[in-house]
């Protein structure tokens, strides 16, 4: 593939795109990274198709404004074809998907050829050990510009693995944090192990008020901090090879940031995503416009509709990357384990011609468009149309038209035989979590999930963990869950279970001394919450009955008759003997 710098030259750009050969064009951008201007949007044509690739950053030795340097080369007769002559340079894409897409379409050798022409920093330093590249990665320009974004950091840490055809996975991480009493402690996240047990999920568990959510908030704060403001004591011990941080928290009391721009402007805003009950509402006043943070149950509805369209966008954009191109299929698979439906759909106005949302290729009967009347008989009655967003329809749907006309505030609807499926509140929240995660997740993401059991009954808790394992596996990602659920701990190996315990000496994180994966729920609960020392209401009742029978376990068991199970038999005998 030919790589050409065209800058602002529209005619030159059109000439290359109209030609028959495959081409990657580097365009013009003034984005400023601490006085370094290294960013280049791209336009790529492979075969007859335009491929939507990420931008790339290029750093030239002793140059702060790369496009000015390249323009000077053009003025001196360079034709713009990479690599340029003269000074050493290196590059890093905004995300590793840049090369994954090329490899998915043309094969890994083609992606490797592009990386060599662009002097990819990961390739040159980790595989070739190129001396010029090694010098450049030690400069301020590399740190402040090429490594400003988390996606670029990930591309540098793991790009060489892609080029050498090695598997890429999130590694174990150590995070230093402050406890509520100000002491420094550390959390050792185990995402890889020699054990065959699954290590995709780590769990924070402990009693209320011990600091689980606060610890997760410190992870988010460190992730979003700009390099010059990052704490020297709190944070990841080394740069994590994580593509993205996604927070899911439907507690009304949490205070996670709502977006990635709270502290520093960045190109890749999706490097952090939050899903919960909080959002921003635009306020108009005499002094102008301002955003107010509000708490609303309608926010998850809007997020879910937007995320369902993002699932469609991901499947269409990353169709060449196997790990990225199965969002809708995964959504349908995991939700159908708990909800009986045919399709998930968004709302549009019924007056819009349905053909505006579809490309050619579907028969009329395959359009599967349904109409409905909302709030029938009321003043706010509204006639709408459902447009199914499914794995089957994905290649034929027009994303731009859907984004323009979808009524996001209406959320999504599940249909069975063309009729609305009525969901419980737990099922509704479960569907929001699934769709929101799938709509935003990248490969090698880290999900922070805060107390998912708050609105899920026990059966959905189990379905939630099963769902999460499926998504994490499909996208090579990991999760950290703050929870009180021993059911969740039972699905997690002991070295992934972090029990927060407060003593006179402060807060400590410990691991259970027994294997929790597939373990006994009562044993887990007793260890985590220390409830052996807490008298339970049924035990108080048993003791009162024993006291009335002069401590006779046999008499109590006889009086209970068939109303006793094996565990209770053992406990009554122990209580009668004074051994409980």
Q: Do 469 and 201 meet the contact criterion of CB atoms below 8 Å apart? A: yes
Buried b (16+ CB within 10 A) or exposed e, 532-564: eeeeeeeeeebeebbeeeeeebeebeeeeeeee
450 assigned to some structural domain: no
Tens of pLDDT, residues 182-218: 889 999 999 998 889 999 999 999 888 888 999 999 9
Q: Are residues 156 and 197 in the same domain?
A: no
170 assigned to some structural domain: no
- What are phi and psi for residue 105, nearest 5 degrees? -90, -45
Whole-angstrom CA distances from 556 to 543, 545, 567 are 10, 7, 15
Quote the Cα angle for 226-150-477, to 5°.
135
pLDDT at 533: 47
pTM of the model: 0.86
Q: Are residues 275 and 355 in the same domain?
A: no
How many domains would you assign to the chain? 4
Cis amide linkage into residue 83, ω under 30° from 0: yes
Domain boundary among 441, 461, 494: 441
128 assigned to some structural domain: yes
Q: Are residues 504 and 568 in the same domain?
A: no
Q: Widest CA span of the chain, in angstroms?
A: 105
Q: Are residues 6 and 45 in the same domain?
A: yes
**Rounded Cα distance, 163 and 122, in Å:** 9
Residues in the chain: 580
525 assigned to some structural domain: no
Domain boundary among 129, 163, 197: 163
**Rounded Cα distance, 34 and 517, in Å:** 48
Give the side-chain half-sphere CA count within 13 A for 294. Answer: 12
Q: Are residues 294 and 304 in the same domain?
A: no
pLDDT at 280: 83
Q: Are residues 431 and 307 in the same domain?
A: yes
Q: Do the strands 272-276 and 244-249 form a parallel or antiparallel pair, or are they unpaired? A: parallel
Q: Are residues 420 and 548 in the same domain?
A: no
Q: Are residues 198 and 336 in the same domain?
A: no
* Containing structural domain, residue 243: 178-257+269-298+478-508
226 assigned to some structural domain: yes
pLDDT at 325: 64
519 assigned to some structural domain: no
Quote the Cα angle for 214-218-219, to 5°.
120
66 assigned to some structural domain: yes
Q: Are residues 273 and 317 in the same domain?
A: no
Q: Are residues 287 and 319 in the same domain?
A: no
pLDDT at 114: 97
Whole-angstrom CA distances from 334 to 210, 430, 464 are 33, 10, 9
Tens of pLDDT, residues 367-401: 667 788 777 777 777 888 999 999 998 999 999 99
pLDDT at 208: 80
Radius of gyration of the chain (CA): 28
- What are phi and psi for residue 284, nearest 5 degrees? -110, 130
Query: What residue ranges of the chain have pLDDT lower than 50?
Result: 533-534
Q: Are residues 294 and 390 in the same domain?
A: no
Q: Are residues 128 and 249 in the same domain?
A: no
Whole-angstrom CA distances from 423 to 252, 297, 324, 346, 429 are 22, 15, 29, 16, 9
């Amino acid at each position: 593939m030919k790589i050409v710098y065209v800058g602002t030259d529209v005619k030159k750009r059109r000439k290359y795109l109209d030609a028959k050969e495959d081409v990657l064009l580097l365009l013009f951008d003034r984005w400023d990274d601490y006085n370094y201007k290294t960013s280049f949007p791209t336009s790529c044509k492979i075969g007859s198709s335009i491929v939507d690739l990420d931008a790339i950053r290029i750093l030239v030795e002793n140059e702060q404004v790369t496009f000015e340097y390249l323009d000077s080369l053009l003025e001196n007769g360079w034709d713009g074809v990479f690599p340029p002559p003269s000074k050493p340079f290196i590059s890093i894409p905004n995300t590793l998907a840049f090369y994954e897409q090329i490899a998915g379409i043309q094969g890994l050798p083609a992606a490797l050829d592009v990386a060599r022409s662009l002097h990819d920093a990961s390739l040159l330093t980790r595989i070739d050990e190129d001396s010029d590249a090694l010098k450049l990665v030690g400069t301020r320009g590399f740190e402040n510009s090429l490594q400003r974004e988390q996606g670029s950091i990930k591309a540098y840490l793991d790009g060489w693995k892609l080029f050498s055809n090695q598997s890429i996975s999130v590694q174990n991480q150590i995070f230093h944090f402050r406890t509520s009493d100000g002491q420094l402690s550390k959390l050792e996240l185990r995402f890889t192990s020699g054990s065959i047990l699954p290590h995709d999920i780590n769990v924070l568990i402990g009693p209320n008020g011990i600091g689980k959510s606060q610890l997760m908030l410190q992870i988010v704060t460190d992730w979003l901090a700009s390099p010059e403001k990052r704490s020297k004591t709190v944070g990841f011990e080394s740069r994590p090879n994580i593509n993205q941080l996604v927070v899911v928290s439907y507690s009304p009391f949490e205070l996670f940031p709502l977006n990635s721009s709270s502290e520093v402007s960045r190109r890749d805003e999706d490097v952090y995503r939050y899903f919960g009950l909080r959002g921003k509402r635009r306020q108009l006043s005499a002094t102008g416009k301002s955003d107010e943070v509000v708490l609303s149950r309608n926010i998850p509805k809007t997020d879910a509709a937007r995320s369902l369209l993002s699932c469609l966008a991901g499947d269409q954009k990353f169709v060449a990357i196997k790990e990225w191109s199965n969002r809708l299929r995964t959504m349908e698979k995991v939700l159908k384990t708990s909800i009986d439906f045919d399709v998930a759909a968004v709302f549009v106005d019924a007056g819009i011609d349905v053909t505006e949302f579809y490309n050619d290729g579907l028969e009329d009967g395959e359009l599967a468009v349904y109409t409905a009347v909302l709030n029938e008989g009321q003043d706010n009655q509204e006639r709408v149309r459902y447009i199914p967003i499914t794995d089957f329809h994905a290649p034929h749907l027009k994303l731009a038209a859907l984004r323009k006309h979808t009524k996001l505030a209406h959320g999504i609807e599940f249909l069975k035989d063309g009729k609305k499926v009525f969901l419980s509140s737990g099922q509704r929240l479960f569907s929001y979590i699934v769709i929101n995660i799938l709509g935003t997740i990248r490969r090698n993401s880290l999900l922070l999930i805060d107390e998912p059991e708050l609105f899920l009954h026990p059966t959905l808790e189990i379905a939630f963990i099963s769902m999460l394992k499926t998504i994490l596996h499909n996208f090579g990602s990991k999760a950290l869950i703050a929870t009180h659920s021993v059911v969740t701990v039972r699905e997690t190996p002991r070295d992934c279970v972090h029990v927060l315990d407060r003593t006179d000496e402060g807060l400590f994180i410990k691991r259970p001394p027994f294997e929790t994966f597939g373990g006994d729920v009562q044993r887990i609960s007793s260890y985590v919450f220390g409830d052996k020392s807490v008298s339970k209401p049924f035990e108080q009742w048993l003791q009162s009955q024993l006291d009335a029978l002069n401590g006779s376990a046999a008499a109590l068991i006889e009086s209970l008759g068939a109303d006793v199970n094996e565990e209770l038999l053992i406990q009554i005998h122990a209580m009668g003997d004074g051994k409980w």
